[in-house]
């Protein structure tokens, strides 16, 4: 239950308010609007300019370019951005229905995510960077993998994803509108570095592979399939057995790699 509402005009003011007990940031409000008996104060981020999407890095060569996404940017705004990679758009459509995407913020979605989050699965594959600010003079940049594991305190101000990578996203679900029982997100850099992340199970998406691509497509597929099977060998829950997920994850890893070679 929201008992106190603040609408700061500056980031510094917001950071000061967030040091108070039982005080949390308010982005889209899709989570905080759910009924609860806990009392909480909220800090509305609406006037802080944290909803922009911009390209950062070297504009002349494209090398090292990244898409910087403001923490308060809605999922739908990101999906509609012309710079948003198509595989990430597919993941966003599965994350939530349109009405929720129009209000849910990227930071709020990340903070509340679990292993079934298609959005977080893609971010982890792309090795996204999360900017976190705890005070005026304390800003940290964390790899998303570290953020997911530690869930540090502080205000997320932006998330950055690389634009100079090839990406793919494959999934299997009971219906097109359902969250996937298994999904595979793949990112590959020009250096050959390849990250495979599996979603659809557990508390967080699982990083199945992060390393140099094997020589030849067949060898790469074999390595990715083996990594996918190993990552999901105990992935059983009420939606699917571990054996089913192992087989499907291996198939999706193969499809994702093949799609990058087209």
- Whether domain 49-162 has CATH 3.30.465.10: the reply is yes
The segment(s) of the chain belonging to CATH 3.30.465.10 are 49-162
> CA-CA distance, 84 to 90, in Å (whole number)?
10
Average pLDDT of every residue of the chain: 90
- Of 195, 157, 179, the closest CA to residue 240 belongs to 179
- The pLDDT-based confidence of 172 (bands split at 50, 70, 90) is very high
179-221 pLDDT, tens digit per residue, is 999 999 999 999 999 999 999 999 999 999 999 877 788 889 9
The segment(s) of the chain belonging to CATH 3.30.43 are 2-47
10-42 pLDDT, tens digit per residue, is 998 998 888 888 888 887 666 655 555 677 888
Question: Cβ neighbours of residue 24 under 8 Å, at least 6 residues apart?
Answer: 18, 32, 40, 41, 42, 43
Architecture, CATH, for domain 165-260: 2-Layer Sandwich (3.30)
Q: In the prediction, which pLDDT does 194 show?
A: 95
- Fold type of domain 2-47: 3.30.43
- The pLDDT-based confidence of 63 (bands split at 50, 70, 90) is low
Question: Cβ neighbours of residue 226 under 8 Å, at least 6 residues apart?
Answer: 250
Q: State how far the alpha carbon of 32 is from the alpha carbons of 29, 35, 164, 180, 241, in Å.
A: 5, 8, 36, 25, 33
Query: Is residue 5 predicted with pLDDT exceeding 90?
Result: no
Handedness of CA 224, 230, 233, 237 (dihedral sign): negative
């Amino acid at each position: 239950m929201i008992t106190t509402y603040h609408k700061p005009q500056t980031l510094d003011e917001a950071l000061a308010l967030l040091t108070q007990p039982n005080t949390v940031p308010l982005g889209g409000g899709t989570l905080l609007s759910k009924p609860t008996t806990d009392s909480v104060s909220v800090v509305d981020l609406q006037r802080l300019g944290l909803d922009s999407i911009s390209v950062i890095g070297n504009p002349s060569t494209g090398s090292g370019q990244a898409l910087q996404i403001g923490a308060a940017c809605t999922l739908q705004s990101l999906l509609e951005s012309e710079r948003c990679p198509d595989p990430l758009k597919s993941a966003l459509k599965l994350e939530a229905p349109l009405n929720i995407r129009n209000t849910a913020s990227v930071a709020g979605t990340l903070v509340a995510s679990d292993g079934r989050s298609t959005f977080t699965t893609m971010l982890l594959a792309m090795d996204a960077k999360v900017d976190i600010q705890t005070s005026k003079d304390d800003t940290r940049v964390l790899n998303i993998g570290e953020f997911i594991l530690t869930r540090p305190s502080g205000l997320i101000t932006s998330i950055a994803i690389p634009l100079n990578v090839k990406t793919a996203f494959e999934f299997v679900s009971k219906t097109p509108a359902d969250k996937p029982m298994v999904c595979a997100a793949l990112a590959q850099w020009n250096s050959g570095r390849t990250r495979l992340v599996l979603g659809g199970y557990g508390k967080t998406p699982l990083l199945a592979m992060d390393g140099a691509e094997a020589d030849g497509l067949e060898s790469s597929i074999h390595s990715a399939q083996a990594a996918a099977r190993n990552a999901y060998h105990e992935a059983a829950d009420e939606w699917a057995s571990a054996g089913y997920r192992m087989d499907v994850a291996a198939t999706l890893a193969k499809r994702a790699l093949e799609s990058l070679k087209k």
